[in-house]
Structure 1
Amino acid sequence: MTKWTPKHEAPEPLEGNVVATITGGTIVWFVLFLVQLPFYGWFDDHDHLWWLWTCLAGGGLGLVGVWYVRRRDAAIRRAAADAAATQDTAPGTAG
């Protein structure tokens, strides 16, 4: 089992504009759903209707993802502001 143990530390996670990424992906899922909607009959005839519903589910889950990452981003900013405020306040001084 030791041969599968990593010998180096994992890199730091990349932090980018997560809200924009998730929003963009959600828009793509909804656009794919709308593009396929006129072909509902063809999908139904060829037993590929799940393609349509997969796109709708992706869009719906994307909305949950947008809500989640916006709340996460706000929590990270709040924690950073609280840490900065705590650091600015010198111990033992009355404010």
Structure 2
Amino acid sequence: MAKWTPKHEAPEPLEGPVVATITGGTIVWFVLFLVQVPFYGWFADHDLAWWVWTCLAGSGLGLIGIWYVRKRDAAIKRAAAAGDATRSDA
């Protein structure tokens, strides 16, 4: 099988409000969990209890994601500030 080689460079990654996006997604997962908890019996009777636990898992992973993207954002800002300080010294 021939190796595929790209004909052009990959585009730059999109940067946006990453922290806000992850926070919003985490809130959505948690709200879905809270909405489904009162109906847990119905979900369990229909073998759909995994829906409830999926929402809880999404909330938990979202909290880890918020921590991660906040640290990443801070590191990017520190690197940019260090680069600006280096340029101003030169």
TM-score by length of 1: 0.90
Tell me how large the CA RMSD over aligned residues is. Answer: 0.8
Question: Which string of whole-angstrom CA distances, capped at 9 and with x for unpartnered residues, describes residues 11-48 of structure 1?
Answer: 00000000000000000000000010110000111110
Q: Which has the higher Rg, Structure 1 or Structure 2?
A: 1
What is the match of residue 52 of structure 1?
A: 52
- Structure 2 unaligned runs (5+)? none
C-alpha separation between the residues in 2 aligned to 1:33 and 1:57?
9
> How many residue pairs are counted as aligned between the two chains?
89
C-alpha separation between the residues in 2 aligned to 1:11 and 1:57?
32
Give the share of equivalent positions with the same residue, in percent: 79
What is the match of residue 22 of structure 1?
A: 22
Question: Which string of whole-angstrom CA distances, capped at 9 and with x for unpartnered residues, describes residues 50-74 of structure 1?
Answer: 0000000000000000000000000
Q: Which amino acid counterpart does residue 76 of structure 1 have in structure 2?
A: I
Shift of 1:6: 1.8
Structure 1 residue ranges, 4+ long, deviating more than 4 angstroms after superposition: none
